[in-house]
Amino acid sequence: MSVQVSQPAPDFTATAVIDGQFEQVKLSSFRGKNVVLFFWPLDFTFVCPTEIVAFNDALPQFTERNTAVLGVSVDSHYTHLAWQNTPRTAGGLGKVNFPMVSDLTHEISRSYGVLLEGGGVALRGLFLIDKNGVVRHMLINDLPLGRSVDEALRMVDALAHFEKHGEVCPANWKPGEKSMKPDPTGAKAYFGEWGKK
């Protein structure tokens, strides 16, 4: 069965490239942190390096939010390493500071519902998993549509705000903006201000 929001994230153990080495990564070992788990179709392609580099560049912002980033594709860990060792000017990645996980068996992609069975590649899935291992947000894009790292950060911030204050975050909410108490009185107060805009 595919993953669902509000349900436990499917656990996995797989080989990843970390700091230029091959290491085993277990999703459940990240409990106590949020995890942004994202999938890309294939190494050495076109949109994929732009996303991986964007997540890598934003990694300090995720880290300061107690959030780990893990990337997954159906390529081997050898291919991941070769891609990191290819200069960016030639479509490579350079050094990547988060684990690049190999899903050669397609089991991880299948368990998250992003595998294109006929094509043997993963769609651009992104999953926000909370500190307890529960999926709180998911987004799946078709192959030509790159994702927004800013939106992934916004979702992490919205989850943290809800967990801290118990208030829900309306459309396009950003830190510092008004949120809403999820009850009739709180909603009335929010919409009373919102309706004046």
Write out the catalytic residue numbers.
48
- Sequence-distant (≥ 6) Cβ neighbours of residue 65 within 8 angstroms: 34, 153, 156, 157, 160
User: Parallel, antiparallel, or unpaired: how do β-strands 124-129 and 13-18 relate?
Assistant: unpaired
CA angle 48, 49, 50 (to 5 degrees): 90
Quote the tokens at residue 44: 């050495």
User: Parallel, antiparallel, or unpaired: how do β-strands 100-102 and 67-73 relate?
Assistant: parallel
